[in-house]
Structure 1
Amino acid sequence: MGRFDLGIFVDAHYLFDVDPQERSASVVLPRIEAAAEEQCMSYGMADRLVVADCADTRARGIAEDFARQGFVIRHIPADSPLTRAGALTAEIVEAAVGREDLRTVAVVAEPGVALSVADTLHRAGRALIACTAGQARGGPAVDRVITFTLDRSELRRLVARAVAGLREAGREEVGMAEFAVVLRGLQPGFSAGDYGAPLKKLLQRLAGPDYRFAEPDRILLRSAGAAGGAREKAPGGAEAGSGHWPDAAPSLISVMREAALVLPLIEPTDEAAVVKALRSVLDLASERGQLREAALGEGLPIQVVAAGLRVVAEGYRDLGHKTSELCRQATAGTAWQVAHAPGNPKHLLVRLTRESAEPG
């Protein structure tokens, strides 16, 4: 039990796809150590390396989390001729050749990295553990596969795309089996198990303004005009969190959410990151017909803008910042402005000024 013969090599960026509750070093490392002891009779970490483009905030945060467990961070810039996969492969081969006491290597990276070193490791008498995000891969080249649950925020975007496509085709109802086929069409190889639960349970949890789940296995789709219309009611029948909404707001929420699916997701780590993401949402709205028309007219209700921001930066409210204040920061120095609705000072609108929006 006193020997140290386990090498662990991690690509921080690969963990972006893993559920946030499983991507930390405090979860990843115990699972690897348990598998190494059970499968390969290896004990104790000898080599610990994590590669990352440290200019990426999310990657740097993950790398630093592993560094607190004794890992060495190797910075691989995005424009470097040496890729992260190449760096990991070289380090693994060097460790296998140079350390006779290394019995087991665990790789947390794209499956191709583990497969590329499998022959070298096996010829040297080493065991190989591959850690994958989602569906287990590896086959006979890998001695053990550890599977981590995929981040469900990506599933939410996939489901929203599927619902939007079915609505455009005029569908109002669809069976779960058919919906699964649509999901696999959008994402080949899709498996609900990758997200840690059966598809039925996942769809029940994700149900919202765009669709609802009806037992035993039917998905009822809301039209674009109705999506977002079922809002929470505060005591006494008032709509929670707002004053009077313009009649167009529910459909605009749906349009905004679907439009925002094209934007890259960000981890809402700080106020500056969220404000930057909100500017991307506003830039998108200024280019999309229905959203642009509303923004140039009465203005977009702040709830519509928030709906787009939630798609891009889910959980941003956990930072404790008011959406209205984030909007004021994001619109500063732009063609956008935050204003009170005529006759209702409690209701905020985000407007695109026509003068600033005109070309030239």
Structure 2
Amino acid sequence: MGRFDLGVFVDAHHLFDVAPHEQSAAVVLTRIEAAAEEQCMSYGVADRLVVADCSDTRARGIAEDFGQHGFVIRHIPHDSPLTRANALTAEIVEAAVGREDLRTVAVVAEPGVALSVADTLHRAGRALIACTAGQAQAGPAVDRVITFTLDRSELRRLVARAVAGLREDGRKEVQMAELAAVLRGLQPGFTAGDYGAPLKRLLQQLAGPSYQFVEPDRILVRSLGAAGAVREKTPGGADAGSDYRSDSAPTLMSVMREAALVLPPIEPTDEAAVVKALRSVLDLAGERGQLRDAALSDGIPIQVVTAGLRVVADGYKGLGHKTSDLCHQAVVGTTWRVARDQGNPNHLLLRLTGDPAEPG
């Protein structure tokens, strides 16, 4: 790259909805630079700015990732009169006016930000690349659109809401097209392609305790205590319990999975983060009637707890830790404790010993 004539302006919060593997600054910049070079627009990043409310841990993490690549980080508090969109717009216009060598501007933000500066940039002879989470209309105002794949954990929550609504309406079977219509009702503009795959494949991958996909295009809605909610197994000695069979376990697993959908997903690559996520699952169980009652009486089988953890930190087993070890860490300082089933010492239970609002 012989010259540096590309400006990149990022709203860290816009990347919240992007699939984790596409959130990194390295991936975002690689795609932007490739698109600019492909169209002979620009050949290197000159101006670099990322805006974020740095009091938000997630936004600050994304901003600091860009900071490692030379980006200036500008803190915009959530209650500031100056919005992130306004700050980006002002910075882009100033750069276009003050930098004659700036040939192309890439904007990673809501589509409205790119459109708001399009006329100014084009009058100044600059090209515009709009980078958005999910699909966005290009149109004549934008020279190139880069679309980032949406996070499928959000799709999992959306599908769970849709299936729950169908269950409440007494529906036991629907066609895929009907479920798609429900999804569009919950999220106007819903497009399966935003999540990187056709709807049929996505529904097959997300099928589980709440519904079953039947070829070629039927969706069977399961009740919360359906037999199809299979037992979970965890690796390693006392965690496994391959012959464990509690009458209530399948129902509790279904309730746990549905409850855990409200928790934010994490990348299961850090032990401390997984333990924190597991503690959130236990906190949630302590608030939910059926789970709380079980935890206060006989205790919740460890398989039920890990069913909830899988929703939040899918792939956590890649850490190589026994689930029982993670549970022992998660209950420290809480009213939960790990115990063995008196009827079968090979099986572990998590018991709630008091009010979850008063740990100790």
Output the TM-score relative to the length of structure 1. Answer: 0.87
Map of 1:163-202 to 2, 5 A cutoff? 163-202=163-202
Residue 11 and residue 317 in structure 1: after superposition, are their counterparts in 2 closer, same or farther (change >3 A)?
A: farther
Q: Give the aligned partner of residue 276 of structure 2.
A: 276
Kept in 1: contact 2:231–2:249 (CA 8 A) = no
Q: Any idea what SS the aligned residue of 2:337 has? A: strand
Kept in 2: contact 1:167–1:224 (CA 8 A) = no
Map of 1:85-234 to 2, 5 A cutoff? 85-226=85-226, 229-231=229-231
Q: 2: distance between equivalents of 1:39 and 1:331? A: 55
Q: 2: distance between equivalents of 1:232 and 1:264? A: 21
Higher alpha-carbon deviation: 197-206 or 116-125: 116-125
Residue 355 and residue 79 in structure 1: after superposition, are their counterparts in 2 closer, same or farther (change >3 A)?
A: closer
Question: What amino acid is aligned across from residue 333 of structure 1 in structure 2?
Answer: G
Q: Give the aligned partner of residue 296 of structure 1.
A: 296
Q: Any idea what SS the aligned residue of 1:286 has? A: helix
After TM superposition, give the deviation of residue 7 of structure 1 in Å: 0.7
Higher alpha-carbon deviation: 242-251 or 336-345: 242-251
Residue 22 and residue 233 in structure 1: after superposition, are their counterparts in 2 closer, same or farther (change >3 A)?
A: closer
Q: 1: distance between equivalents of 2:164 and 2:300? A: 21
Q: Any idea what SS the aligned residue of 2:125 has? A: coil
Deviations 1:165-201 (A, max 9, x none): 2223222221100110111122121100101111011
Higher alpha-carbon deviation: 141-150 or 17-26: 17-26
Q: Give the aligned partner of residue 16 of structure 1.
A: 16
Q: Give the aligned partner of residue 318 of structure 1.
A: 318
Q: Any idea what SS the aligned residue of 1:131 has? A: strand
After TM superposition, give the deviation of residue 227 of structure 1 in Å: 5.6
The number of residue pairs the alignment matches comes to 354
Q: 1: distance between equivalents of 2:329 and 2:343? A: 24
Q: 2: distance between equivalents of 1:87 and 1:63? A: 15
Higher alpha-carbon deviation: 23-32 or 332-341: 23-32
Kept in 2: contact 1:243–1:346 (CA 8 A) = no
Higher alpha-carbon deviation: 137-146 or 108-117: 137-146
Higher alpha-carbon deviation: 315-324 or 285-294: 315-324
After TM superposition, give the deviation of residue 220 of structure 1 in Å: 2.0
Q: 1: distance between equivalents of 2:274 and 2:215? A: 38
Deviations 1:23-42 (A, max 9, x none): 33333223222322344632
Q: 1: distance between equivalents of 2:160 and 2:227? A: 12
Kept in 2: contact 1:264–1:312 (CA 8 A) = yes
Q: Any idea what SS the aligned residue of 1:141 has? A: coil
Q: 2: distance between equivalents of 1:124 and 1:227? A: 65
Kept in 1: contact 2:108–2:131 (CA 8 A) = yes
Gaps of 5+ in 2: none
Deviations 1:49-104 (A, max 9, x none): 22334455544443344344433333445565544333322221221111011111
Q: 1: distance between equivalents of 2:242 and 2:89? A: 54
Residue 174 and residue 131 in structure 1: after superposition, are their counterparts in 2 closer, same or farther (change >3 A)?
A: same
After TM superposition, give the deviation of residue 156 of structure 1 in Å: 1.5
Q: 1: distance between equivalents of 2:357 and 2:155? A: 35
Deviations 1:279-307 (A, max 9, x none): 33222222222111111111111121222
Q: Give the aligned partner of residue 31 of structure 2.
A: 31
Q: 1: distance between equivalents of 2:24 and 2:340? A: 43
Kept in 1: contact 2:231–2:303 (CA 8 A) = no
Residue 272 and residue 21 in structure 1: after superposition, are their counterparts in 2 closer, same or farther (change >3 A)?
A: closer
Q: 1: distance between equivalents of 2:106 and 2:97? A: 16
Q: Any idea what SS the aligned residue of 2:20 has? A: coil
Q: Is the counterpart of residue 350 in structure 1 residue 350 in structure 2?
A: yes
Deviations 1:191-247 (A, max 9, x none): 00101111011111222233222111112222211265334789xxxx966551311
Q: 1: distance between equivalents of 2:4 and 2:261? A: 46
Output the TM-score relative to the length of structure 2. Answer: 0.87
Kept in 2: contact 1:207–1:213 (CA 8 A) = yes
Gaps of 5+ in 1: none
Question: What amino acid is aligned across from residue 111 of structure 2 in structure 1?
Answer: P
Q: 1: distance between equivalents of 2:57 and 2:67? A: 15
Q: Any idea what SS the aligned residue of 1:47 has? A: strand
Q: Give the aligned partner of residue 84 of structure 1.
A: 84
Residue 110 and residue 227 in structure 1: after superposition, are their counterparts in 2 closer, same or farther (change >3 A)?
A: farther
Map of 1:225-244 to 2, 5 A cutoff? 225-226=225-226, 229-231=229-231, 242-244=242-244
Cα RMSD (Å): 2.7
Residue 61 and residue 242 in structure 1: after superposition, are their counterparts in 2 closer, same or farther (change >3 A)?
A: farther
Question: What amino acid is aligned across from residue 219 of structure 1 in structure 2?
Answer: I
